[in-house]
Each structure stands twice: as structure tokens, then as C-alpha cells.
Amino acid sequence: MQRTPPAEYRHVYEFYIRFGDIDSQGHVNNVKFLGYLEDARLEMFHGDPVRKGEQPVRGMVISRHEIDYRLPLMPTVYPIRVETWVTEARAASVKLAYEVRDDENVYAEATSTLVAFDVESNRLRRWTPEEREFIGRYVVPRA
């Protein structure tokens, strides 16, 4: 589905699988993967910037998700990662790519399209220059 970019363009979010993530078949339920992607996005656009003393990116909505499950994700005692990067940045939208993985395996690959949104006016908007600069940190240059 996608080519993993160099480390400097990836945001890395680590997490541990919770007991409640496991379904009756003994592996992580497919719907939980969307929660992992959400947690990674929140850290990328909100948590990490706030911890660094920067303004978080606010006011965006998901317009599309696509996910390909590669391997069953079984309960583990070591962390799993969501690695995220930007594959396309436009004036009012951005496309993210993700890998849910550990050091050996990719369990799922996904993409999301996010659009800039003005919550007060309930309308789409364009990214601010500051938001474009932040998003640009994760844009993989075209080869």
C-alpha cells in the first residue's frame, strides 16, 4: 500500500495492547485499530506540540479512512507503534499514512484524509500558515 519514509518524516506513537482490545478470537479486534490511529493523531497534532510549548493543530475532521489488515495482532507485553506521516498536503486537507507495527511486523497499513474545519462557523477552512509549517515537518519529499 505505501512506502515507509525515513525516520525524520515519521511521527511515532507507542502503546500497549489492553485486555479489552482482544476479541473472542484472541487477537486485537479490527475496530480497535481505528482507536489506535486516533490516539496517534491526537499525539501528533495535539499532545506532542503542547509538550514542546508549541500550538497544537485544532479544528480538523476526518473525511476518509482506509485500512488494510496485514497480520493478526496478538496480545503482547511489549509496545506496539503507530508510525504516521503525511503523503499529501493541500490548502485545506492532508492525507496521512500509518503503519501499526513492532520491530518485526506490520499489522496494518492505513490512510486518513483530514480536512481543516472551523468549528464555530461549522464550515471547511484552509490551514493557517502555522499549521502548514507544522504539517510540513511530516511531508515526505517526492523522489
Task: Considering only residues 128 and 3, tell me which one the structure prediction assigns the higher pLDDT.
Answer: 128
Closest C-alpha to 114, from 65, 55, 43:
65
What is residue 41's predicted lDDT score, i.e. its pLDDT?
97
CB atoms within 10 A of CB 49: 15
Q: What is the pLDDT of residue 4?
A: 79
Confidence of residue 87 (pLDDT cuts 50, 70, 90): very high
Q: How many domains are contained in the chain?
A: 1
**Angle at alpha carbon of residue 129, lines to 34 and 86, rounded to 5°:** 35
**pLDDT reported for residue 2:** 65
Residue 65, domain CATH? 3.10.129.10
Q: Does 1 fall in a domain? A: no
pLDDT score of 143 more than 80: no
**Is residue 142 one of the residues assigned to a domain?**
no
So what's the pLDDT on residue 140? Answer: 85
Per cent of the chain over pLDDT 70 is: 98
Read off the pLDDT of each residue in 98-105 and give the average, rounded to a whole number. 96
- pTM for the model stands at 0.93
Q: Is residue 1 scored above 90 in pLDDT?
A: no
Domain that holds residue 40: 7-137
Query: Residue 2: inside a domain, yes or no?
Result: no
